[in-house]
Structure 1
Amino acid sequence: MSPIRTIVLTLLALLAFAANSVLCRLALNAEQVNPADFTSIRLLSAAFILAIIIVIKDKSAIRHINQHGSYAGALFLFVYAAGFSYAYISLSTATGALILFAAVQFTMLFKGWLAGNKMGNQEYIGLLLSLLGFIYFVFPELEKPSIVGCLLMILAGIAWGMYSLNGAKSTKPLYDTASNFIRLTPIAIIGLIATYFYFGLHISYKGLLYTTASGALASGVGYTLWYQVLPKLKPSIAAVSQLSVPIWAALGGVLLVEEPIELHLAISAAIILGGILLVILAKNKH
């Protein structure tokens, strides 16, 4: 893969991540889609579009799709998708994206630490700075219901971090991504049936459009692109690139969901992302 192609695909993947946050907020808040329905339809639409792409590419490959991906990858994907959906009930687009990708970076850094990668003074300073920024960010929320959203988004971020680490080993990104989504199809169908009997399936045309777009395009195609470029990127570059997602998501929230960017969020983002950037730059220097 040429460097230009890698750059273009990476940018498209990052924009897909940001689009997921915006589409989720539009579906859950603007159109009042049930988060369980959103998660189920999102997973099903992603599995459907990826299966169609594989059939068009190679009809015989779909019969052996279970040879790709992994149950671990599917589990990480499900925890991320469910936590993501329920967290965005109470979080703004920018806030959710900030927590998500901060948790992603902490997960990947912690995994490296467990693997024996030692940290220098600059890395410890960056880590401490990020933790202080996060404490500053959540402190006003401790007595509000949105603390639950924060915790759910942290869980989603940990799961996405593990999913990204798993994807760095992928040699067939399209097949691996499709397999992971297809493995979750039974759970998604059961989820839809359960919510139908308990709450009824009430979803507007726009809500269905936002949910399907989140699954088929922002998730299915977006995650495939991410799995495709991960093996080509240095861990430091992959980490730094994801730090731009909260900014794109915040802009999308301002333009499409009409959410303001508060000073508290801007200061928190600068401290948290700045601290993580210090850690990543120190690792890159070593």
Structure 2
Amino acid sequence: MRLFLLVSLTMAAFAANSILSRLAIGGGHMDAGSFGLLRLASGAAMLVVLCQVQGLAVRQGLRASLGGGAALTLYIAGFSLAYQQLDAGLGALVLFGVVQVTMFLWGAVRGNPVSAGQLAGAVLAFLGLAYVVWPDGSGATPLGASLLMAAAGLGWGIYSILGRGAAQPLAATAVNFLWSTAMFLPVALWLGGSTVSFYGAVLAVLSGAVTSGMGYALWYRLLPQILPAVAATVQLSVPVIAILAGAALLGETVTLRLLFGSAAVLGGIALVVLRAPGRKAQPAKRTAG
């Protein structure tokens, strides 16, 4: 029961990143550039503290740091800019779907065995995403913002692929957050935003230090205790939590289009996970948030 509660808490923390970002950026309490920068900086600070508490050296090779930092910067930039317009639940669905499809396609390109069920699942997930974000004339789903979130998903997918072999994932994440903070600074300056309220800053720090930094730390501690297939499958709950929380806390509308698209995306990803050849031997994946 304790493990179940901790896993549930971690998934809720990852979903909360979408709620906090949408609340701060979409609500006009903080501009996207400033929010992303403060989220990265506070996340880096928390991760460094957690590494020190655990006696881990905060270091990583330069090549890995540059790659991880750049991928993380792409994720934060796309994520923050997309939530100027996207609903929290829709954003989480697009992000999660693109991350999982990216990692699946990379594995296929690298020669990993692919079953017919996995291929069908990947196609179903892609079609579900296309159905959700395709303009229907109502303006309810901004295509530009959806593409920005897709870029964020690509960034996190690359980040996850690069970090699979990290001996100390918590320390590697701390280093990557530090590098990404430096990389994102010119992006924030280029965006030129100037909206920084106290409330927005609090939301950014919560997203960086708590739901990202502490959330990632807790997830890495839990991963050795659960099967890789379970770790991958349980992440299906993140977009669902974000959709429900967005409706309850932000008053976002849950349309039939979103419900059908979500069912297709999450069902397709479930097929990819559960139909993987030799899936019990596969390493657990990092989640998106």
TM-score normalised over the length of structure 2: 0.84
Counterpart-to-counterpart distance in 1, 2:162 and 2:9: 20
| Count of residues paired in the alignment | 277
CA deviations 1:27-75 (Å, max 9, x no partner) are 01123411111111111111122223334554xx66x535596221222
Larger mean CA deviation between 180-189 and 136-145 belongs to 136-145
Contact persistence 1:240–1:280 (CA under 8 A): yes
Q: In structure 1, what residue type is equivalent to 2:153?
A: G
Q: CA deviation at 1:146?
A: 1.1
Does residue 251 of the first structure (1) align with residue 256 of the second (2)? no
Q: Distance in 2 between matches of 1:115 and 1:236?
A: 20
From 203, 217, 221, the equivalent of 2:196 is 203
CA root-mean-square deviation: 2.7
Q: Which has the larger helix fraction? A: 1
Distance 1:142 1:115, change over 3 A: farther
Instruction: Using the TM superposition, give the Cα deviation of residue 278 of structure 1 relative to its aligned residue in structure 2, in angstroms.
Output: 1.8
Please tell me the residue identity of whatever aligns with 1:42: R
Is the contact between residue 114 and residue 277 of structure 2 (CA under 8 Å) also seen in structure 1? no
Say yes or no: does 1:87 pair with 2:82.
Answer: yes
Which residue identity does 1:138 align to in structure 2? Answer: V
The answer to whether residue 177 in structure 2 is matched with residue 184 in structure 1 is no
Trace 1:5-24 onto structure 2 (pairs within 5 A): 5=3, 9-24=6-21
Deviation at 1:89, TM superposition (A): 1.3
1:234 shift after superposition: 4.9
When residues 189 and 136 of structure 1 are mapped into structure 2, their CA distance, relative to the original with a 3 A threshold, is closer
Amino-acid identity (%):
37
Residue in structure 2 matched with residue 215 of structure 1 by the alignment: 208
1:168 alignment counterpart: 164
The residue number in structure 1 matching 2:111 is 116
1:95 Cα shift? Answer: 0.5
- 1:274 corresponds to which of 267, 274, 283: 267
Q: Larger deviation: 120-129 or 267-276? A: 120-129
1:39 aligns with 36
CA, structure 1 residues 16+167, in 2 after alignment: closer, same or farther (shift >3 Å)?
farther
Inter-partner Cα distance in structure 1 for 2:275 and 2:60? 40
Matched AA of 2:102? T
* Structure 1, 179-188 or 228-237: larger mean CA deviation: 228-237
Tell me which of 21, 45, 50 is aligned to 1:48.
45
Give structure 2 stretches of 5+ with no counterpart: 280-289
Q: Any unmatched runs of 5+ in structure 1?
A: none
SS of the residue corresponding to residue 195 of structure 2 reads: coil
How far residue 162 of structure 1 moved from its aligned partner, in angstroms, is: 2.3
- State how far apart, in whole Å, the 1-side matches of 2:98 and 2:160 are: 12
* 1:74 and 2:60 correspond: no
Is the contact made by 2:115 and 2:277 (CA closer than 8 Å) also made in structure 1?
no
Match of 2:258 among 239, 261, 265: 265
Alpha-carbon separation, structure 1, partners of 2:136 and 2:222 = 36
In the aligned structure 2, how far is the partner of 1:65 from the partner of 1:271?
A: 41
Deviation at 1:267, TM superposition (A): 0.8
Q: Which residue of 2 aligns with 1:65?
A: 59
1:134-163 deviations in whole A, cap 9, x for unaligned?
232223358857111111111111221222
